Amino acid sequence: MSRIIDVSQPVGSRTAVWPGDQRVAVVWTLRRDRGDSVNVAALTMSAHTGTHADGPLHVDDAGAVPAALDLTPYLGPAIVVDATCHDVLDRNAVADLDLTRVTRILFRTRERTDFRQFPDRFTPLAPDLARWIGQAGVKLVGTDAPSVDPFHSKTLDAHHILGNAGVAILENLVLDDVEPGHYTLVALPLSLVEADSSPVRAVLVEGTIG
């Protein structure tokens, strides 16, 4: 039997966002307790809310919108790496991996994730590792941090290096109780035609789906 592990942040009005970004707002346009026949909620939120796929348009004005993305990177074999002892994700974080055999890599950098609080500090991806990952043909990099680049970065080197190499990016994963090892990742972005990025419902599957 396969086991499905939800590795997505909950999304609601208490979900933390990048400082200055749009917070989640929920408005009930129809409510049964007001006499309507159904309950209908309207959401206002950033495309980077909770667990999300950073799209190419995020850092490149000519980049693709989520609806135009190849979905292949977001579905398939993945390896979870425990990097909680690292202050930065450099080549030491993957010293034991043969990247030529890895197609999707997810980094656990935190012991605990609190979706209600933006982290004071988080572990970014070093440009040298981003470059190495791109050269190795990895399809996707994921992290439980809110960004693959440092908080104060203006150049966003890791974003650009990964993007130029065609490597998809997932951010704000929840890997607290996930053991290092091999899984099947499912984290499809929405078919958004007027946004730079997209929230995802990310899950890891142990064993065979079915």
Annotated catalytic, 58?
A: yes
Q: Are 122 and 173 in contact (CB under 8 A)?
A: no
Residue from 52, 58, 86, 182 carrying the catalytic annotation: 58
- C-alpha dihedral (87, 92, 93, 94), degrees to nearest 10: 170
Q: How do beta strands 104-108 and 140-143 pair?
A: parallel
**Burial class for 25, CB neighbours closer than 10 Å (0-12, 13-18, 19+):** exposed
Residues 6+ apart with CB under 8 A from 93: 81, 83, 86, 107, 129
* CA–CA dist 168, 189 (Å, integer): 11
Count CA within 13 A, CB hemisphere, residue 9: 30
Helix axis angle, 127-135 to 157-164, nearest 10°: 10
Q: Which residues are part of the catalytic machinery?
A: 58
